């Protein structure tokens, strides 16, 4: 039995690699700087030994292969030991290609926003229609229960991330995936710690499109210049588009996106009534329906499956309600995602107050790349609470303008929570946005509201 050791195992992607490797029969061990639930629990239940920290002793005796997560860098004790001892190593995406994807029909879901949700939808549609796909998703879809699965069919659904592969391979992860069905949801500037500008990201998407076979399919939105620029660099596959004048289009029946009609080449194919809200989720669903059709699932069957779809955790996830005050968790990391989430929630709750609570945690936000568009993305909120820790080196207060709702900025989490609780009242909706844990703020808010109510 070959032994692989994974550095940075508790990230969703690398944790998924570990689960797949275990299913393939490898002996799997791994380490991370922070070994904690839920991923640590999921891995340990799969029989995977976890090690806290990066003491080089974990590589002695040497495994057959080290799979290196992209959070690892030169100077890491395990990385230096691995290089000095000439232990074989690879990146997570390269391992995935060589051990799984090269023999599968890969359905890749890419784009700046919506990758996790759309990948979850496609995997769910295929599972519901007895295709039993493999998948690797950067989240845990509530309807599927796990983030990764080997599957029993030729189909493999993968969330195709444009972030880099490893410290020794600065190509985007998705360049390794070689999809037959490719969705590009959207394309904006992000990951400022990796890419200097949007053109650099577009070039990586072009490299991805170069690998789609001529009998493959590329699905993209209409009237999106960045996507059009990528396709203009060259595309050798069938193309379909989604938008008002595209191959796929939709008609909202409810403004919050909870009901809409689906059209293919202007012909009505079905009506979807479901639990999700927001135009962005309608667009994600349209892409999932289009991708599923390419692998043989009729739009009618896809629509039926999506009526039972439960989104991945941290996608406008309801964390609880106390004193008629609801707390949501959303994995927001970009002004466009923030705006579309708020618009969807506003359409759903009407005139009830929305309090936006943001931790600008992504590397791009910390660098201040989005500072000039961040506040305008939150105009649907009735109040904004911002957490500004010491490692954010731009002044949020300078960005507040006349259009900004009432805004509070704090650098102490406990003080931020108390400020929110002081103004929260029944029927309010507290939307917490971060791509990290945000210090457990969701439960702390619920507890503080309950304590206030009991007094």
Average pLDDT per consecutive 10 residues, the chain (455 residues; last block may be shorter): 94 92 95 79 86 96 96 96 98 97 96 89 97 91 86 96 93 95 85 76 94 97 92 96 95 93 97 89 96 97 95 76 89 76 84 89 57 73 84 68 75 89 91 82 88 73
How far is the C-alpha of 364 from the C-alpha of 192, rounded, in Å? 5
In this structure, the number of other CB atoms found within 10 A of the CB of residue 153 comes to 15
Written out in words, the top-level CATH class of the domain with range 3-92 is alpha beta
The DSSP symbol for 447 reads H
Alpha carbons within 13 angstroms on the beta-carbon side of residue 432 total 26
How far is the C-alpha of 3 from the C-alpha of 218, rounded, in Å? 37
| Per-residue pLDDT, 372 | 64
| Per-residue pLDDT, 68 | 98
| Per-residue pLDDT, 182 | 98
| Per-residue pLDDT, 370 | 57
For residues 117 and 311, the answer to whether their CB atoms sit within 8 Å is yes
The DSSP symbol for 141 reads B
Token look-up 């009242």 returns 425
**Token output for 410:** 């704090």
For residues 242 and 209, the answer to whether their CB atoms sit within 8 Å is no
- In this structure, are strands 248-252 and 259-264 parallel, antiparallel, or unpaired? antiparallel
- The CATH number of 317-454 is 3.90.190.20
Sort 210 into a burial class: Cβ within 10 Å, 0-12 / 13-18 / 19+: middle
| Per-residue pLDDT, 107 | 98
- The CATH number of 100-306 is 3.40.1190.10
| Per-residue pLDDT, 363 | 57
| Mean pLDDT, all residues of the chain | 89
What would the pLDDT profile of 84-123 be if each residue is shown by its tens digit? 999 999 999 999 999 999 999 999 999 988 889 999 999 9
How far is the C-alpha of 398 from the C-alpha of 227, rounded, in Å? 33
* Cis amide linkage into residue 38, ω under 30° from 0: yes
CATH 3.40.1190.10 in the chain, residue ranges: 100-306
How far is the C-alpha of 404 from the C-alpha of 397, rounded, in Å? 11
Q: Strand order in 383-387's β-sheet?
A: 317-322, 325-330, 429-433, 354-358, 383-387, 406-410
Residue in 320, 314, 359 with CA at minimum distance from that of residue 446: 320
Token look-up 């989430």 returns 341
**Token output for 114:** 């919506």
What would the pLDDT profile of 389-437 be if each residue is shown by its tens digit? 776 766 666 666 666 678 888 888 899 899 898 989 999 999 998 877 7
| Per-residue pLDDT, 371 | 60
**Token output for 107:** 């359905």
How far is the C-alpha of 191 from the C-alpha of 205, rounded, in Å? 14
Question: Mind spelling out the 3-state secondary structure of 88-132?
Answer: CEEEHHHHHHHHCHHHCEEEEEECCCCHHHHHHHHHHHHHHCCCC
How far is the C-alpha of 70 from the C-alpha of 17, rounded, in Å? 13
Residues whose CB falls within 8 Å of the CB of residue 30, separated by 6 or more in sequence, listed in order: 5, 6, 7, 8, 9, 10, 14, 18, 43, 48, 49, 50, 51
CATH 3.40.50.720 in the chain, residue ranges: 3-92
For residues 372 and 399, the answer to whether their CB atoms sit within 8 Å is yes
CATH 3.90.190.20 in the chain, residue ranges: 317-454
The DSSP symbol for 62 reads P
How far is the C-alpha of 408 from the C-alpha of 388, rounded, in Å? 10
């Amino acid at each position: 039995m070959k032994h692989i050791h994974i550095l940075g195992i508790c990230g969703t992607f690398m944790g998924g690699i570990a689960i797949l490797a275990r299913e393939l029969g490898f002996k799997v061990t791994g380490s991370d700087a922070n070994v904690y639930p839920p991923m640590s629990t999921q891995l340990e239940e799969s029989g995977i030994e976890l090690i806290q920290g990066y003491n080089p002793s974990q590589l002695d005796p040497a495994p057959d292969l080290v799979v290196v997560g992209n959070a690892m860098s030169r100077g890491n004790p395990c990385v230096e030991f691995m290089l000095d001892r000439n232990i074989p190593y690879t990146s997570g995406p390269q391992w995935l290609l060589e051990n799984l994807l090269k023999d599968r029909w890969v359905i890749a879901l890419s784009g700046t926003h919506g990758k996790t949700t759309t990948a979850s939808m496609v995997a769910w549609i295929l599972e519901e229609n007895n295709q039993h796909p493999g998948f690797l998703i950067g989240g845990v879809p509530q309807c599927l229960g796990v983030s990764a699965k080997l599957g029993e069919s030729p189909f493999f659904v993968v969330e195709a991330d444009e972030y880099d592969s490893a410290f020794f391979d600065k190509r985007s992860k998705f360049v390794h995936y070689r999809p037959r069905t490719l969705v590009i949801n959207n394309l904006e500037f992000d990951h400022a710690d990796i890419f200097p500008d949007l053109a650099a990201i577009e070039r990586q998407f072009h490299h991805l499109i170069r690998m789609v076979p001529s009998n493959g399919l590329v699905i993209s939105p209409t009237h999106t210049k960045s996507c059009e620029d990528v396709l203009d660099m060259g595309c050798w596959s069938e193309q379909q588009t989604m938008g008002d004048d595209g191959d796929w289009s939709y008609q909202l029946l409810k403004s919050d996106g909870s009901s809409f009609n689906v059209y293919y080449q202007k012909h009505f194919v079905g009506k979807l009534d479901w639990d999700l809200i927001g135009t962005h989720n309608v667009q994600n669903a349209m892409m999932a329906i289009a991708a599923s059709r390419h692998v043989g699932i009729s739009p009618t069957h896809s629509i039926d499956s999506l009526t039972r779809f439960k989104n991945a955790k941290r996608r406008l996830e309801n964390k609880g309600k106390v004193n008629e005050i609801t707390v949501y968790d959303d994995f927001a990391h970009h002004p466009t995602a923030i705006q579309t989430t708020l618009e969807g929630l506003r359409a759903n709750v009407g005139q009830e107050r929305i309090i936006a609570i943001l931790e600008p945690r992504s590397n791009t936000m910390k660098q201040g790349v989005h500072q000039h568009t961040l506040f305008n993305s939150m105009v649907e909120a009735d109040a904004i609470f911002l957490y500004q820790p010491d490692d954010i080196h731009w002044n949020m207060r300078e960005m507040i303008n006349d259009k900004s709702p009432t805004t509070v900025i704090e650098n102490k989490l406990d003080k931020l929570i108390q400020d929110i609780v002081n103004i929260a009242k029944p029927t309010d909706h507290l939307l917490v946005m971060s791509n990290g844990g945000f210090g457990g703020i969701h439960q702390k808010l619920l507890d503080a509201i309950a304590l206030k109510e009991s007094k």
